[in-house]
Amino acid sequence: MSRKLFALLIFASLMLGACGGAATPTIRIGINAPLTGDIPKVGEGTKFSAEMWLEENGGTITVGGTEYPVELVIEDNESKGESAAAVNTKLITQDEVHVIVGPQSSKQAVPAGGVANDQKTPMISPWSTNPNTTLDRPWVFRTPFLDPFQGPVVANFVTDEFGFTKAGVLYDVASDYPKGLAEFFKSGWEDIHGPDSVVAFESFTTGDADFSAQLTNIMNAGAEFIFTPQYYNEVALIVQQAHELGFEGPIVGSDSWGSAETVELCGEDCYGLFFSTHYAAEGATGATKAFIDKYNENYGYVPDDVGALTWDALNIVKQAIQDCGEITGDLEADRLCIRDAMANIEEFPGITGNMTFTEEGDPIKCAVIVRISEEGLFTFYKQVCP
């Protein structure tokens, strides 16, 4: 009896399955974001940006005259490496996405990039700066500039602007982005001013809130300024504590400062400070301004750099899909086509600057030096191109 029942069921399901096809294939884009864990704000920025992008495009992408519906699959990676790899595997094999945007931090992007590369699915990380993310991985791309570029940019800027010769650095030894950047800054600075010109190279560990010992060391070593490539929450504490300890020199930062929360948490202490980043929110024009205004209107705050980079990553994806010419519904072919189109993108006009990918899938783009104005706004100061 049971066998008959099964045969019937299988037959019925085959019939139903056969009727299913023939519609326009949906373009699915996976978003691998840290919604919980250490950096939930980054996850939120990613999610908001992606949702806004979908709304802006009316939920469709037109390729060669055909309008394809777009579906975003947003997954939380809990800010953990193994979880990011699992999410990527799930997105690729279960949700059958065409392309993945994310993960953001390198500790998730490196293992997740390995999965994407092995499974031949294009992935673009909007925020990861670790060289290993894209190294020897033809399927993996990124939108930010790399630390080896940004470090010397800051070193050159400080030399030109202030004429200092003695630098102090404070960074998080347990976190991969600050650590990498601090080291590239150090080598960049020492190339200009000779060995031992970084008089203090101090560190702390993720989760610390007290930096007084390190700051005291830096001051004691006679540093003229402090470079601290930290995230916005730590920036506020570092700057305030430095001022309380009586440090009067400038404190310079990197693109991780590029969040509306930097000024909100730090207040007046941060006014007049400089940092290098991807774009300047205040005084932006054109597409950049349109994006910032729209985001501000939707979510009530000026987007962080991660939001802008995610936006760019999604637009690169869109461009690649359009360059592709046709979405066939054959997942493997479409993924390959999108990857090839992405690798061939030239001078892509992103809101964080124009981008062309190198063979490794890293963009060549300009950095911007931003000054925090007396009103707490991020104003454009200078542009540095490679």
Partner 1 sequence: MTTNSASTPTIRQRIRALFSRIWEPYRSVPLLGWLIAALVAVGLEQLVGLPLARGLGLTKIPALFGAVVILSKPALTPSALLFTTLIYILPIGIVARFTAPLTNRIAAKLAEYPLVVTALVHLVLLYAVLHIWCDITDYRLLVARLAMISIILTLSLNVVNGYMGEFSCSHPGFMSIGAYVASAFTIVLFVSENRFGEALLPPALGPYMFPLALMLGGLISAFGALLVAIPSFRTRGDYLAIISLAFMFIVKSFFENMEVVGGARGISNQPDYATLPIVFLWTILSIWIINNFVRSTMGKALNAVRDGELAANAMTVDTRKTKMTAFLFAAFWAGVAGGLFAHVLRYINPDSFGIRKLAEVLAMVYFGGLNSVTGSVVGAVGLSLISEALRPLDIFKWIIIPIMLILIMIYRPTGLIAFTEFNVEKIFLPKGRAPEGAEHASA
Partner 2 sequence: MEFFFQQLINALQLGSFYALIAIGYSMVYGVLLLFNFAHGDVFMVGAYIGFFVSSALLGLNIFGALALPLSVTLSLVLVLTLIISMALNSIVGMLVERIGYRPLRDAPRASAAITGLMIGIILETGNLAILGPQRRSFPELIQSATINIAGVSFTNKKILIVFISILLTLALHQFVRHTKWGMAMRAMAYDYVVVPLMGISTNKIALMTFALGSALAAAAGILYGVAYPVLDPNMGILFGWKAFVAAILGGRGSILGAGLAGFLLGFIEIFVATIFPSTMRNLIAFGIILIILTFRPHGFFGEPFSAQLRL
Alpha-carbon span 157 to 353, nearest angstrom: 19
By a kind-dependent CB cut-off of 5 to 8 A, residue 222 interacts, out of partner 2, partner 1, none, with none
* Contact call for residue 36 and partner 1 (CB under 8 A): yes
- Chain positions 169 to 188 lying near partner 1, rule: CB under 8 A, are 173-176, 179-180
Alpha-carbon span 372 to 6, nearest angstrom: 70
Kindly list the distances between the CA atom of residue 51 and the CA atoms of 24, 46, 299, 307, in Å, as whole numbers in the listed order.
22, 9, 11, 11
Place of tokens 């941060």: 270
* Contact call for residue 143 and partner 1 (CB under 8 A): no
Taken as a whole, the chain contains a residue count of 386
By a kind-dependent CB cut-off of 5 to 8 A, residue 161 interacts, out of partner 1, partner 2, none, with none
* Contact call for residue 208 and partner 1 (CB under 8 A): no
Binding test (CB under 8 A) with partner 1, winner from 39, 61, 86, 355: 86
Cβ-Cβ contacts under 8 Å for 194 (sequence gap 6 or more): none
Kindly list the distances between the CA atom of residue 57 and the CA atoms of 49, 179, 285, 326, 336, in Å, as whole numbers in the listed order.
12, 38, 21, 18, 23
- The pattern of x and - marking residues 50 through 79 that bind partner 1 according to CB under 8 A reads -------------------------xx-x-
Taking contact as CB under 8 A, which single stretch among the options 83-91, 220-228, 275-283, 308-316 is the one that binds partner 1? 83-91
The residue ranges that bind partner 2 (CB under 8 A) are 36, 38, 40-41, 43-44, 173, 202-210, 212-214, 216-217, 220, 232-233, 236-237, 240-241, 244-246, 261, 264-265, 267
Work out the number of other CB atoms within 10 angstroms of the CB of residue 265.
18
Residue 364 structure tokens:
């060549």
What three-state secondary structure class fits 112?
A: helix
Residues that bind partner 1 (CB under 8 A): 2, 9-10, 12-17, 20, 35-36, 75-76, 78, 80-82, 85-87, 89-90, 92-94, 96, 106-107, 110-111, 114, 119, 130, 132, 173-176, 179-180, 205-206
